[in-house]
Structure 1
Amino acid sequence: MEPVELSRAVAAGRATAAGLGLPVRDVDVVHNSDRVALRLSPCEVLARVAPMGQLADAAFEVEVGRRLADTDAPVAGPDPRVEPRVFVRDTFAVTLWTYHEPVAAPITPADYADVLGRHHAALRHVDLRAPHLTDRVAAALREVNDRERSPELSEADRELLGGTLAGLGAAIGTGSAGEQLLHGEPLPGNLIATRRGPLLVDLATCCRGPVEFDLAHAPEEAERHYEGADHGLTDRCRALNWAMFSAWRWRRADRMPDRDHWRVAGLRRMRAALDRCGPT
C-alpha cells in the first residue's frame, strides 16, 4: 500500500482491535503488499487489513482458520478472544489473528515435510467448499490471453506461458481420487518458526488438488521426506506454479516490488522446471 493508504489501514486495524476491548499501544507493520499485516501490542494480535475489494478472500481465510481451530493443524489461527469474522472499518476488511513471535530457529526440509503432512492430515477432516487449483490456473490464463491486461508480454512468451498454463492445468487437474484440501501456497515466507514450532500462515490460498501442488511450493529437498509423494507430479506442479507466478507479474496492474526482475526470473524458472519435466 502507498503511504497514505497504509496510514489509514493502520488506523483501521488499531481501531478495530481497540473497539473489541483489546489493548493497543503500539502497531508494527509486519508485511505490506496489496494488504497489510500489523502486529498490535500489548494485546499480541496480528491484524490483516485489506481493501474492501478483498472482502470475500478475507472471509474465506477466516472460515478456513475457524474450521482448523479444533484440529492439530500447524497454523496460526484466528484470535480466540474475538468472534472469528471480518470486521469492516473505514474502507477496509479487517481480520484478527493470534500473533506468534518468530524465533531464530532453522526449518529443515524434514521439518517442512512434517508440517505439510500434518496440515494435510488435518485438512482431510475439514468439510469446506474451496476452489480447485484449476480455478486459479484459469484466472492466470485470462491475464495472459488478454493483451490489454498484459500488454508488455512478448508474443513468444505469451504463447509459451499460455500453453504451459493450459497444458499443465489440464494434465494436473484431473479430479483424481487422491485430491484433497491444500494450503495452496506454502512458500517459505508462509511458514514461520515460533515457540510452538513451525506454523503456516496466509490461509486464503486454500484450494483443492493433489498434495504435490503444495510440495511444489516448498524447498525441493522437502519432497524426499514426504511419504508417498509422486516426484514426477511435483515437478509438473512446480512448473505450473512458476507459470502462474509469471502470469501475475506480467499483469499491467501488478504491484509486486522489483517486478521487472521477477518477470524475467519467473519465466526463466518456469522454463527450467519444464525442462525437468520432460515430454508431457
Structure 2
Amino acid sequence: MADFLTPRHIARRTSAAVDAAVGAGRGLGLAVTDATVLHDLFSVVVHLAPSPVVARIPTVLPPDVDLDSLARRQQAELDVTRWLAEQGTPVIPPSPLVAAEPVRRDGFSMTFWQFVEEDRDRKPDYAANAESVADLHAALRAYPGRLSFLSAAEPRFVTESLARLGERPDLIGPADLERARREWRVLEPLVRSRAAFEERFPGIELQPVHGDSPPANIFPGVERDLYADFELVTLGPVEWDLAALGPALESAYNRGARRNGMRPLDEAVLGFVNAVGMLRAVACLALAPQLPPLVEYLTPAVDQWRTMPFAGGVAR
C-alpha cells in the first residue's frame, strides 16, 4: 500500500532519533562524539560514545500513545530496574551519569541506560533463560512501587487496532478479523478489570512481572547475562511472561519456580495469556505501515493463532 514507509523514510526517522539523543545527551553534560546505532526496530538504541551510556528512543508507537503516556511507562521501567539493581538482581540499570527519568527532545521521549558490552558470539539458551525468569519473578515480588494491572496487554491499542484493521484487507482478511474481534469481546473484560480476572481465575496471585517475554530479553553481557527491556513492566500473573513460548520453555520455567519455592504455571491462565498475546500480535499488524517488516515477522504468529482454541478456551 502507498502509505507504507519506505526505507528512505525509516532512515530519516532513525537519523532524527539519533540526533535527538545526541543533543539530549550533550545537554545533560555527556561527552558524545561517536554515536553508534545498536538496534533499530520499535525503538532506536544508540550508544552515545565515548560516554558509557545508551539512549533508547521509541519510534514506532500506536496512535493513542502520546509523549505523556509514554513517559509514564518509561518512568515505571526506570524505577523498577533501578530498584532491582539496588537489590543485586542482574539487570541493565539506568545510567548513573544522568537522572533516572525520561527526557524529551525534538518530539521524542527517551531513556538513558548503562552501556554493557555484548558477547556477540554466544547464542541464547532459551531454556536456561526461561528457568531464570523464575529468579526474576522471585526478586520482583518484593517491589514496593505501584504498577497497573496488565497494562502490558495494551487493551486500548488492541481495541483501536482491530477497528483500524477493518480498513486494511491487505493486512488481514475479513474472516480472521471477525474471529479476532469476537475473541477480544471475551478477553477484554479480563484484561481491563483485575476483579474480573480474579473472579475468573481464583487463587492466582498477581505480582510485578517483566511484561515482554523476558526469556527473549536477556542480554548476553560479556561478564554475565542481564535482564533487559522492562518497557512493559506490569502487575499480572507470572504466566504473562511465558505467553506463547510453548511447553518446553514452560517446563523450564517450572524448574526454576520449584527451585524458588513458587507455584508452577497454571494451564488455564496460560490459555488466557496465550490468547491475549496472539491478539496483540494481530493488532500489531496495524503498525505495519510504520514498520513494514512486521508483516513478515508476524505471519507465523497469525498462522499459529488460527490453529488455537477460540479465546484460549476461556469462553464458557
TM-score by length of 2: 0.76
Matched, 1:131 2:148: yes
* Aligned CA distance change for structure 1 residues 198 and 272 (closer, same or farther; 3 Å): farther
**Corresponding residue number in structure 2 for 1:157:** 176
Q: CA deviation at 1:19?
A: 3.2
- Tell whether 2:122 aligns with 1:86: no
Q: Is contact 2:271-2:313 (8 Å) kept?
A: no
Higher mean Cα deviation, 117-126 or 268-277? Answer: 268-277
Q: Are residue 121 (structure 1) and residue 138 (structure 2) matched?
A: yes
The residue that corresponds to 2:280 in the other structure is 244
Which residue in the other structure is 1:166 paired with? Answer: 185
Alpha-carbon distance in 2 for matches of 1:212, 1:67: 22
Q: 1:26 to 1:252 in 2, by over 3 A?
A: closer
The aligned residue for residue 193 of structure 1 is 220
Aligned partner of 2:142: which letter?
H
Whether contact under 8 Å (1:47, 1:97) holds in the other structure is yes
CA RMSD of aligned residues (A): 3.0
Residue equivalent to 1:271: 306
Which amino acid counterpart does residue 207 of structure 1 have in structure 2?
T
Percent identity, aligned pairs only?
Answer: 26
Q: CA deviation at 1:140?
A: 4.1
CA distance in 1, matches of 2:208, 2:176: 32
Deviation of the 1:215 alpha carbon = 1.2
Aligned to 2:38: 30
CA contact (8 A) 2:214 2:227 kept: no
SS at match of 1:48: strand
* Deviation, structure 1 residue 91: 2.5
1:1-280 alignment to 2 at 5 Å? 2-50=10-58, 53=67, 54-103=70-119, 104-133=121-150, 136=153, 138-147=155-164, 150-152=167-169, 153-170=172-189, 174-175=197-198, 176=202, 177-186=204-213, 189-216=216-243, 218=245, 220-227=247-254, 228-249=264-285, 251=286, 254-262=289-297, 264-274=299-309, 280=315
1:113/1:226 contact within 8 Å kept: yes
State the SS of the aligned residue for 1:36: strand
- Per the alignment, in what secondary structure is the counterpart of residue 2 of structure 1? helix
TM (norm. structure 1) is 0.84
**Which has the larger displacement, 189-198 or 203-212?**
189-198
Q: Do the aligned residues in 2 keep the contact of 1:180 with 1:211 (CA within 8 Å)?
A: yes
Distance 1:73 1:273, change over 3 A: farther
Residue 164 of structure 1: CA displacement? 2.3
Asked if 1 retains the 8 angstrom alpha-carbon contact of 2:133 and 2:215, the reply is: no
Question: 1:246 Cα shift?
Answer: 1.0
Structure 1 unaligned runs (5+)? none
Task: Return the alpha-carbon distance in structure 1 between the equivalents of residues 155 and 295 of structure 2.
Answer: 23
Moved more, 32-41 or 150-159: 150-159
> 2:98 aligns to what SS in structure 1?
coil
Q: Against the structure 1 CA distance between its residues 257 and 189, is the aligned structure 2 distance closer, same or farther, given a 3 Å change threshold?
A: farther
- Post-superposition offset of 1:180: 1.1
| SS in structure 1 at match of 2:211 | coil
- Name which of structure 1's ranges 169-178 and 236-245 shifts more when overlaid on structure 2: 169-178
Deviations 1:16-35 (CA, angstroms, capped at 9, x unpaired): 22333333232111222343
Deviations 1:127-182 (A, max 9, x none): 22223227735224412552477532433212211222333455676135411111
For 2:287 and 2:117, the matched residues in 1 are separated by 36
Answer with 223-232 or 207-216: which moved more.
223-232
Relative to structure 1, the CA distance from residue 232 to residue 17 in structure 2 (aligned partners, 3 Å threshold; closer, same or farther) is same
Cα pair distance change 1:97/1:167, threshold 3 Å: same
Partner SS state of residue 86, structure 2 = coil
Unaligned runs of 5+ residues in structure 2 are 1-8, 60-65, 255-263
